[in-house]
């Protein structure tokens, strides 16, 4: 057995080194000892493919497949051979065999989609492409051929989504008319998720996930009647902001200030950067008296808001500035026990904010409430700095008892990690 293993290792080294003649001789020696060796037969099958001999390739690869039925790569070679012969049925059977061996074999799903498309089965092709896109790695990790197939898959899936949406809307038309005037936005999001037009985003808190709270991207304004009062104070808040900026008053600092060694991924460019700056009135649950004294009216307005109060954690309340061209990459917040409020102040055209699959533009004097544990991102595509007011509030679905227990829970966790001494 050790002699055979040595032969196999030698053949593999020659194959990896790109020495096909030497590899062929080594694999032939393997076959002399083990005629049904799957790897050796697969080598000669792929060699026949490169030489333009699909019939010989099929003989070799079928022999290899019988010896290694759980190897998904061998049927992929068979699919190529059948495609060279114009045998659609054989190609489809080979792709199905690859997927039976490995349901996550994305090249087989992509290839099956392309085959179904060639056979005129465009809708079934789109379904295969859609399934493939869910599991295919990033394009930069793919070969040029697979990259082109992925781009083709995206185009086909997008075209099918538009076609399916149009078909469904024809069928829903009369029923929609019967419900004119009723809110159907949740149903529309459901429909768009089913057809692939949108993705339903879930809550992904970084620190504390409280179960059974609804995952709502932008909340209904009607649930927060005090929003109108906040919006009515826009001019007052904006005047204090302008005075701060005109006087170049201290207090604005980079919003992100993580120590070295913390993995930040796409956010690394914003760490300690003035491109995203904040002027805090409340920071990690502590009132910043110096900043509040410079903007006493804004501080008083915040005192009237239903701020989330968790000692050592929240509230946070601040002016948030984003410089021209800056982008805050997709991220999620720490806990869904709170929600976040934005009030537009200095908001030039081209400043957008996405939460989940809902993208909006800030407007001066318009406030909204959203769940920041759902993936969100911001972009200032204008030539001016964008400034908004941000603060956090309790999630209204929490009872008073739950709020108090959340405070105690986080305090206990912090106390526990503050020392390594056992109680």
CA atoms within 13 A on the CB side of 388: 26
Q: Are 272 and 317 in contact (CB under 8 A)?
A: no
Structure tokens that stand for 66 in this block:
């019988």
pLDDT grade for 168, boundaries at 50, 70 and 90: very high
Q: Which CATH architecture has domain 221-417?
A: Sandwich (2.60)
Euclidean distance between CA atoms 255 and 260, whole angstroms: 16
Q: Give one DSSP letter per residue of 304-365, joined into a string.
A: TS-B--BTTTB--EEEEEE-TT-EEEEE--SBTTEEEEEEEEE--TTEEEEETTEEEE--TT
Domain boundaries, the chain: 2-159, 221-417
Residues 6+ apart with CB under 8 A from 244: 251, 279, 294, 295, 319
pLDDT grade for 402, boundaries at 50, 70 and 90: very high
What is the pTM for the complete model shown?
Answer: 0.81
- Confidence check: pLDDT of 7 > 90: no
pLDDT grade for 270, boundaries at 50, 70 and 90: confident
Crossing angle between the packed helical segments 185-195 and 144-178, to the nearest 10 degrees: 150
* Residue carrying structure tokens 């994305």: 106
pLDDT on residue 260: 66
Residues 136-153 have pLDDT tens digits of 999 999 999 999 999 999
pLDDT on residue 3: 82
Q: What would the mean pLDDT of 176-203 be, rounded to a whole number? A: 92
Euclidean distance between CA atoms 292 and 282, whole angstroms: 9
pLDDT grade for 264, boundaries at 50, 70 and 90: low
CATH number of 2-159: 1.25.40.10
- Confidence check: pLDDT of 423 > 60: no
pLDDT grade for 6, boundaries at 50, 70 and 90: confident
Among the listed ranges 58-62, 272-276, 390-394, which one has the minimum average pLDDT value?
A: 272-276
- Confidence check: pLDDT of 262 > 60: no
Euclidean distance between CA atoms 94 and 108, whole angstroms: 9
For residues 328-344, b (16+ Cβ closer than 10 Å) or e, as one string?
beebbbbbbbbbbbbbb
Q: What would the mean pLDDT of 302-315 be, rounded to a whole number? A: 95
Euclidean distance between CA atoms 384 and 372, whole angstroms: 25
pLDDT on residue 274: 87
């Amino acid at each position: 057995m050790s002699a055979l293993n040595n032969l196999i290792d030698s053949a593999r080294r020659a194959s990896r080194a790109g020495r096909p003649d030497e590899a062929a001789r080594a694999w032939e020696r393997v076959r002399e000892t083990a005629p049904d060796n799957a790897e050796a037969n697969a080598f000669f099958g792929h060699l026949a493919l490169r030489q333009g001999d699909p019939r010989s390739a099929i003989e070799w690869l079928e022999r290899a497949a019988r010896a290694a039925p759980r190897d998904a790569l061998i049927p992929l070679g068979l699919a190529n051979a059948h495609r060279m012969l114009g045998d659609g049925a054989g190609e489809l059977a080979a792709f199905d065999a690859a997927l039976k061996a490995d349901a996550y074999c994305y090249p087989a799903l992509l290839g099956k989609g392309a085959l179904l498309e060639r056979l005129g089965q465009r809708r079934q092709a789109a379904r295969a492409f859609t399934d493939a896109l869910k599991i295919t790695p990033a394009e930069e990790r793919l070969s040029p051929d697979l990259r082109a197939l992925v781009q083709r898959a995206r185009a086909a899936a997008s075209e099918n989504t538009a076609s399916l949406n149009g078909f469904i809307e024809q069928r829903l038309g009369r029923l929609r008319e019967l419900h004119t005037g009723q809110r159907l936005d949740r149903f529309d999001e459901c429909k768009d998720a089913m057809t692939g037009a949108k993705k339903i985003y879930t809550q992904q808190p970084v620190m504390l996930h409280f179960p059974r709270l609804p995952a709502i991207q932008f909340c209904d304004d009607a649930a927060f009647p005090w929003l109108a009062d906040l919006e009515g104070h826009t001019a007052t808040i904006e005047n204090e902001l302008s005075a701060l900026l005109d006087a170049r008053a201290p207090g604005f600092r980079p919003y992100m200030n993580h120590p070295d060694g913390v993995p930040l991924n796409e956010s690394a460019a914003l760490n300690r950067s003035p491109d995203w700056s904040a002027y805090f009135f409340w920071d990690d649950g502590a009132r910043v008296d110096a900043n509040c004294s410079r903007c006493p009216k804004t501080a008083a307005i915040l005192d009237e808001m239903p701020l989330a109060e968790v000692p050592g954690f929240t509230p946070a309340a601040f002016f948030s500035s984003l410089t021209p061209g800056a982008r805050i990459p997709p991220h999620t917040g720490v806990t869904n026990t709170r929600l976040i409020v934005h009030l537009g102040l200095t908001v030039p055209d081209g400043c957008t904010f996405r939460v989940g699959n809902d993208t909006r533009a800030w407007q001066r004097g318009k406030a909204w409430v959203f769940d920041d544990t759902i993936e969100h991102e911001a972009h200032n595509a204008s030539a001016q700095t964008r400034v908004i007011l941000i603060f956090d509030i309790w999630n209204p679905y929490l009872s008073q008892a739950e709020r108090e227990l959340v405070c105690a829970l986080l305090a206990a966790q912090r106390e526990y990690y503050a020392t390594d001494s056992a109680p």
